[in-house]
Structure 1
Amino acid sequence: MSRMSEFAGRSGAEYTMAVERGKIREFAAAVGSDHPAYFGDEPVSPPTFLASNAFWTTDGSDPWGDQGPDLSRVLHAGQRYVFHGPPPRAGAVLQCRQRIDRVYTKQGRRGGALEFADIVTEYRDADGELVAESIATLVVTEQAPQ
């Protein structure tokens, strides 16, 4: 198995994500939504818009650094969002930080061990208030797929 448990609690560097009106509109169109809240003068971001934070990451923001798990064995097992108020609107500037929150192991049904990691990304406003969190669950299989 990998050494993922050694990384539990590790955080990456903070980075900035600007919530842009045009990007909100593009995201809504890409997911097939025509809800007017995403297309007005001050649109609110769709709940899953925060996934686009990947375009804003910088060197050092990945909590794994260059020592992450073997990507040929990584599966994305889940994603959820927790909002501590309304979703961000266009014009918001969010400070983001990712951390490896929890690592645990389960036995797979086909004989191999599965190692799970919950990666939490916090999104804070200009006042440092927590706006939202995304929690991604990754699974690393014991063996690479055949």
Structure 2
Amino acid sequence: MSYSFPLEPGKVREFAVATQVGHGRSAEVGTVIPPTFLAARVFWKPADQPAVIGDRMDRTRVLHAGEEFRFHGRVPAAGEVLTVTERLGDEWRKEGRRGGGLHFMTVVTEFRDADGVLVAEAISTAVETERAAEEGAR
């Protein structure tokens, strides 16, 4: 499934001010977005669209383990509308330092411009602990 992600100049400006990047109040159509603005895509994802990880992880034990952004050529600009698609990436397991297994998954989010050209990707990594953390554990 895919959905539209408008890079609204007002939202780009708000993000730039909130994150204290150089654009500040001057964001307007054609202004290159702060690269991490792509994380705001979650606010445009339709509520009825299921999560890519689905039932593969117990969300009560999932932590966000990382976010990486890759750009393929130019960085998108305010005023564009990108098409967003998500897919499951890599999946692996390893033993935790304090015992217990860790289940890792990546979700690859593709951002395409109006011509269908891939302009960026976001790779989100989630980790599910085998069991809930013990109270007071450090």
In the superposition, the TM-score normalised over structure 1's length comes to: 0.84
Structure 1 equivalent of residue 35 of structure 2: 47
Q: Which has the higher contact order (CA 8 A, sep 6+)?
A: 1
Query: How many pairs are equivalent?
Result: 132
2:66 partner letter: G
Query: How far off is 1:64 after superposition?
Result: 3.2
What are the equivalent positions in structure 2 for 1:1-146 lying under 5 Å apart?
13-33=1-21, 35-36=22-23, 39-42=26-29, 43-58=31-46, 59-60=48-49, 62-65=51-54, 67-146=55-134
More displaced 10-residue stretch of structure 1: 115-124 or 82-91: 82-91
Residue segments in structure 1 that go unaligned for 5+ positions in a row: 1-12
In the superposition, the TM-score normalised over structure 2's length comes to: 0.88
Conserved? CA contact 2:10–2:27, under 8 Å: no
2:40 is paired with a residue of what secondary structure?
helix
Runs of 4+ in 1 over 3 A off after TM superposition: none
Q: % of aligned pairs identical?
A: 47
1:48-69 deviations in Å (ceiling 9; x for gaps)? 000000001112252234x252
How many Å separate the matches in 2 of 1:71 and 1:129? 33
